[in-house]
């Protein structure tokens, strides 16, 4: 069953820890460590690929429009963009616009915004979903190994073990990308969105904009 109790226990088992967690929200040194690193490990996986099971779609709310009859100011959308939009409150990372047009993320003052030339942009993005039962099996397995890698650095500090655990996540991400591409009945004249930004390329075919994914690694922050 894909729940937080099993995920915590599987991560502990993967690093040779015999402690069994019965209540993920309960007291205990192991629970404290797992709760501390669970968001880091989860988000490292979520941002490493454009996972379909985490994808949400939303029409963006406009924050500002550039008046191109006036000189550009610091309060305007980024240069070369006409509009700025508020980020969805549940967004972890953008994936792509429905029209595959380019966009940029930046700040105006203290507010983080999306800049676009589309007057009515619809954004596909990754949600930060904390509930394991909502994830595909590939995502769940990746988070188990990611959490194991994170707590191993805190528990033993053995980099070689952490690197092996990280490599298992990378292999799963690449395998999941193949499965996602094979399951998609849409013909793409660009690479599938799951692979976009991960280093997979088809020369001469990339003519749609996908927001770059992050390189998966938890050891750098867990050390």
Strands 111-116 and 104-108: antiparallel
On average, the pLDDT of the chain sits at 85
Q: Which of 2-11, 43-52, 131-140, 207-216 has the lowest average pLDDT?
A: 207-216
Report the distance separating Cα 91 and Cα 4, nearest Å.
22
Report the distance separating Cα 141 and Cα 162, nearest Å.
16
Q: How is residue 5 annotated by DSSP?
A: H
Given a cut of 90, is residue 223 above it in pLDDT? no
pLDDT of residue 160: 78
Given a cut of 90, is residue 153 above it in pLDDT? no
pLDDT of residue 108: 94
pLDDT band at residue 159 under the 50/70/90 scheme: confident
Query: Residue 53 to residues 104, 133, 166: CA-CA distances in angstroms?
Result: 24, 11, 22
Return the closest-CA partner of residue 142 out of 108, 115, 166.
166
What average pLDDT does range 95-107 have in this prediction? Answer: 95
């Amino acid at each position: 069953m894909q729940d937080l109790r099993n995920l915590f226990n599987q991560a502990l088992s993967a690093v040779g820890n015999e402690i069994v967690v019965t209540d993920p929200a309960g007291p205990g040194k192991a629970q404290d460590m797992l709760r501390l690193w669970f968001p880091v490990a989860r988000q490292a996986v979520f941002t490493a690929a454009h996972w379909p099971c985490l994808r949400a779609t939303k029409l963006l709310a406009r924050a500002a429009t550039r008046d191109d009859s006036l000189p550009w100011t610091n309060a305007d959308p980024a240069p070369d963009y006409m509009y700025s939009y508020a980020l969805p409150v549940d967004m972890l990372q953008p994936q792509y616009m429905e029209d595959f047009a380019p966009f940029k993320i930046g700040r105006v003052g203290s507010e983080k915004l999306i800049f676009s030339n589309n007057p009515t942009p619809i954004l596909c993005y990754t949600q930060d979903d904390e509930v394991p039962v909502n994830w595909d099996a590939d995502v769940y397995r990746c988070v188990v190994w990611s959490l194991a890698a994170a707590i191993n650095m805190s528990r033993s500090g053995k980099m070689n073990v952490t690197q092996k655990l990280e490599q298992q996540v990378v292999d799963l991400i690449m395998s999941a990308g193949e499965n996602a591409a094979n399951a998609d009945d849409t013909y793409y004249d660009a690479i599938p969105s799951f692979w976009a930004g991960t280093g997979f390329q088809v020369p001469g075919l990339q003519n749609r904009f996908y927001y770059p994914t992050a390189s998966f690694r938890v050891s750098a922050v867990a050390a």
